[in-house]
Amino acid sequence: MALIPILVLGAAVLAQEPAPVPPPPAQPAPVALNPAKLLAPAEMDAQAPEVFTVRFDTTAGDIIAEIHREWAPRGADRFYNLAVNGFYTNTSFFRIVPGFVVQFGISPYPKVAVAWYNAVLKDDSVKKSNSRGRLVFAAAGRNTRTTQIFINLGDNASLDREGFAPFGDVVDGMEVVKRLYGGYGDIPPQGRGPDPKKIILQGKTYLDKEFPKLDRIKATYVAEGPAPRPEKTRK
């Protein structure tokens, strides 16, 4: 007789409905373009988190970068302000030099590009080397950084001595970076690729007409904290 209550209890447990499965975490929304701020560089001066992640959804796939403010505080702050206000959305990867760099960061909207033309940033000290996958602001000399970024395709330690200060690292998607369309060659005068000055003045109209195969950033996602580490990185 002692078995009966146990069997009844077991049947009651089996009859219970399974516990509900919690919904998956909400995916962050892409940042929206903020025209008012993008036309006023002086107002975009928020301090970046110590570590944050930016995911670029590009026409070639996703590129995920992890940014460390301690590496280059001024550069990280500038990149953060641009990213969270949608500056890089719709920008094209206009310069690709195999084995050297991929460059982007000129707004496809001439009014925005012109607004940032003289919004120069003081240099950071170089704390990290220009190794493969590192993100760095392009410059034309001392204290001339504005909005253009390059990703190192190789180990470019010679750039350390020239004052180029990395502020982040591509932690996933280097295989995407390597397959970005580079058939137009380097920018003038080194090659016959897109002219940065014409991109600034004519924007997307110029690129669509003269260089329609360029890959671009479709959407930008920003999150505080380090990026999740995939099983394989930097393919």
CA distance 155 to 160: 10
- Count how many domains the chain has: 1
Supply the pTM of this predicted model: 0.86
**pLDDT at position 229:** 72
**pLDDT at position 5:** 43
Q: Torsion angle, CA of 77/78/84/89, rounded to 10 degrees?
A: -150
Residue 183 in domain: yes
For residue 181, the enclosing domain spans 53-224
The CATH number covering residue 129 comes to 2.40.100.10
Residue 194 in domain: yes
Residue 229 in domain: no
Q: Which residues of the chain are under the pLDDT cut of 50?
A: 1-15, 24-25, 233-235
The continuous run of DSSP H or E covering 221 comes out as strand 217-224
